Amino acid sequence: MKTNQSRSAARSIQASLRRGHQRLRTLLAAAFLVSCLAEWCQGQGTFTVTFNGTPRGTEHGVGSYEESGIIFQVLAPGQLFLEGGGYNSVYPDNGTGFLYMPDGS
């Protein structure tokens, strides 16, 4: 009887170890795949958006603005303003341009 019980226990342990090894292999394969995808899907790196093109102290409505491959837009055209700095006393007058969208747009 002991031999049958010990064989059964040994089979159970072996089956458990096989399942554990399979899970480990699956986990390692998934981690490898994720690391390969992360290497392949690199971003574009650092870029700078300057909002140039509007003279200082002016403002004009734009439907959208594109620079460095990035598009800024709102759903209602004309509700996005490109300001040249110094136009509104609420915002800093440091000579840089910026985009402005009024409240409620």
- Tens of pLDDT, residue by residue over 41-53, are 777 677 777 777 6
What DSSP string describes 14-38? HHHHHHHHHHHHHHHHHHHHHHHHH
Q: Mean pLDDT over residues 72-99, rounded?
A: 69
pLDDT band at 96 (very low <50, low <70, confident <90, very high): confident
Q: How far apart are the C-alpha atoms of 77 and 62, rounded to whole Å?
A: 7
Instruction: Give the mean model confidence (pLDDT) for residues 83-91.
Output: 67
What is the pTM for the complete model shown?
0.41
Q: How far apart are CA 33 and CA 98, in angstroms?
A: 41
Beta bridge partners of 64: 73
> Helix (H, G, I), strand (E, B), or coil: what is residue 50?
coil
The whole-number average pLDDT for the span 76-102 is: 69
- Quote the CA–CA distance of 69 and 34 in Å, as a whole number: 27
Whole-number pLDDT of residue 85 = 65
